Amino acid sequence: MNSSKWIFIVVSGFILLGAYSCTKRSSLKEYPIAHIIANAKEMSLDKSNAQIEHIQLETTQESLVADIMDLVMTEEYIFILTSTPKILQFAQDGKFIREISMQGNGPGEYNYAYSLFVNQQNQSLYLNQMYGKILEFDFDGIFKEAHKETASMSKFIFDSENNLLESILPLMGNETTKLQVVKLDGDTLARFNNHVKFKYVQGASGLSYGHYKPLFHFEDKIIYHQISTDTVFTYDPQSSKLDPRYYFNNPGGPDVDDYTNFIKRAQELTLIYDVSEDSNYIYVTIITPGWKKNVYMIDKISGEYYLLNLVISNDPERTFLPKWQYKELLIDYVSKEETNPEIVTLRVTGI
């Protein structure tokens, strides 16, 4: 698309949180949450063809990781945003390479870093500053340039046309847009209406989950899931359309008005926390009342449900949760007391 011509695509006619038109939903694949939870078969390592790899991040004085806030994997590297915050670059085997940039107000320096994303085509890493410019670095850690400013806690991904999809977190309840397609220089190519509306009160915006990923690449499409909502979408960069992909029938979830008192009611709700996919399975992380997280696998062909119960540390309660995705690899990590965290990757090839 020509960046000088702004094209606004407004999605209307549906509300994500249970008020979607029954006519349109009738053509979508439905996954009833209560049925999934009640009928899922437990899947452990000895009952699956699951390939798990543990990558110990090298521990040096320069590479200490307090906690992982965001992670991006490429063919050669693992980039990590820590809670301190620092941006650290490791090789695929966990060997520490360098710290990228530093906190400050100079060229290429950052104040508050919120998320990372990459463009594999031009070998660039991007740092999103909340209420600041997007900073671009090459894979050798050299600062290249600053781009458009972001005005919210946004997460980004590049489409095949090198445009940015920006997922905007609803914090105040009056955000008009949930997802927009933009150029790095700031031109807007498409906007999609936000339907998570609420009257802001203190504590209303309890929607900033740790490690929630709204966007990920799958095959030649981009999958989008707005936080806590029941419908998953497909974005096609060729047509600039955002189409419903499937939805979760979740009568125990929030409705639009409930977000006003979300914090007060969160322990009572059933929430669609996060979604991942590979060629064979959908992975949905569900929060049930009491804030209990479990990962359920849905077989795309047979429709069978599985409870993913893969213990990944000495703690038997510490099971795999897909926090990030790179191609068909799902990614989690295990914190350690005396060393840097251990990155854990999972690929399920069958049951």
Question: What is the tens place of the pLDDT at every residue in 198-216?
Answer: 777 765 555 667 788 999 9
Question: Does 183 have pLDDT greater than 80?
Answer: yes
Q: What is the pLDDT of residue 192?
A: 95
DSSP code of residue 261: G
Question: Does 14 have pLDDT greater than 80?
Answer: no
Closest listed residue to residue 60, CA positions, set 29, 95, 32: 95
Q: What is the pLDDT of residue 233?
A: 97
> pLDDT above 90 covers what percent of the chain?
59
Contact 1, 218 (CB under 8 A): no
Mean pLDDT along residues 160-180: 89
Give the residues across from 98 on adjacent strands: 89
Average the pLDDT over each of 126-135, 200-209, 214-223 and give the range with the smallest value: 200-209
Q: What is the pLDDT of residue 206?
A: 57
Contact 143, 137 (CB under 8 A): yes
Mean pLDDT along residues 119-146: 93
Closest listed residue to residue 116, CA positions, set 151, 159, 73: 73
Q: What is the pLDDT of residue 256?
A: 62
> pLDDT above 70 covers what percent of the chain?
89
Question: Does 71 have pLDDT greater than 90?
Answer: yes
Which amino acid is present at 92? Answer: Q
Separation CA 60–CA 56 (nearest Å): 12
Q: What is the pLDDT of residue 175?
A: 87
Q: What is the mean pLDDT of the chain?
A: 86
Cα angle vertex 319, ends 315, 324, to 5°? Answer: 130
- Parse the chain into domains and list their residue ranges: 22-348
Q: What is the pLDDT of residue 35?
A: 96
List of long-range contacts for 116-122, beta carbons under 8 Å, 24+ apart = 116/70, 116/71, 116/72, 116/79, 116/81, 116/87, 117/72, 117/155, 117/156, 117/157, 117/158, 118/72, 118/74, 118/79, 118/158, 119/158, 119/162, 120/74, 120/75, 121/158, 121/162, 122/162
Which amino acid is present at 54? Answer: H
DSSP secondary structure, 42-67, as one string: EE-GGGS-EEEEEEEPP--SSS--S-
Question: What is the tens place of the pLDDT at every residue in 304-349?
Answer: 999 999 999 999 889 999 999 999 999 999 999 899 999 999 999 8
User: Across the beta sheet with 177-182, what order do the strands follow?
Assistant: 154-158, 164-168, 177-182, 188-193
Buried/exposed code over 147-162 (b: 16+ C-beta within 10 A; e: otherwise): bbebebbbbbbbbeee
Average the pLDDT over each of 8-12, 240-244, 279-283, 287-291 and give the range with the smallest value: 8-12
Q: Which of the four CATH numbers 3.40.50.1110, 3.30.300.30, 2.120.10.30, 3.40.50.2300 does domain 22-348 have?
A: 2.120.10.30
Mean pLDDT along residues 98-121: 88
**What is the number of alpha carbons within 13 Å of residue 100 lying toward its C-beta?**
28
Number of Cβ within a 10 Å radius of residue 57: 24
Separation CA 276–CA 255 (nearest Å): 23
Separation CA 112–CA 172 (nearest Å): 20
Q: Rounded to whole angstroms, what are the CA distances from 332 to 3, 125, 202, 311?
A: 37, 20, 32, 12
Question: What is the tens place of the pLDDT at every residue in 28-69?
Answer: 999 999 999 999 999 877 777 889 999 999 999 999 998 999
Which amino acid is present at 188? Answer: T
Q: Residue 6 — pLDDT band, cuts 50, 70, 90?
A: very low
Separation CA 131–CA 319 (nearest Å): 35
Average the pLDDT over each of 90-104, 133-147, 186-200, 215-229 and give the range with the smallest value: 186-200
Question: What is the tens place of the pLDDT at every residue in 250-285?
Answer: 999 887 666 777 777 888 999 999 999 999 999 999
Mean pLDDT along residues 165-181: 89
Q: What is the pLDDT of residue 26?
A: 60
Contact 171, 185 (CB under 8 A): no
Per the model's pLDDT, the better-predicted residue between 137 and 317 turns out to be 137
Q: Residue 165 — pLDDT band, cuts 50, 70, 90?
A: very high
